Amino acid sequence: MRRAFSRLVLIVALVATAAVGTAALIGEAQAGPCRCPLIYAPVICDHGKTYPNPCVADCHNAKNCVPTGGL
């Protein structure tokens, strides 16, 4: 019984951690007035800043963005 309870606590902790991490990603992808998909396709723009995808770059009014080609 004690082992089952310990496993349950561990599972709840892992699910909570995953939910917080997902919320952080969603918050960053939806920053500002735009709602962008959670797709990681990084772009680098003319001012040298890298964004997680072209939609987020557009939301920040970044110009002349090109794919970085890396993960």
Phi then psi for residue 50, to 5 deg, are -105, 135
* Structure confidence by residue, pLDDT tens digits, 17-65: 655 454 445 555 555 678 999 999 999 999 999 999 999 999 999 999 9
Phi then psi for residue 11, to 5 deg, are -65, -45
pTM over 0.75: no
User: Contact 43/68 with Cβ under 8 angstroms?
Assistant: yes
Taken in order 35, 38, 43, 44, the sign of the CA dihedral is: positive
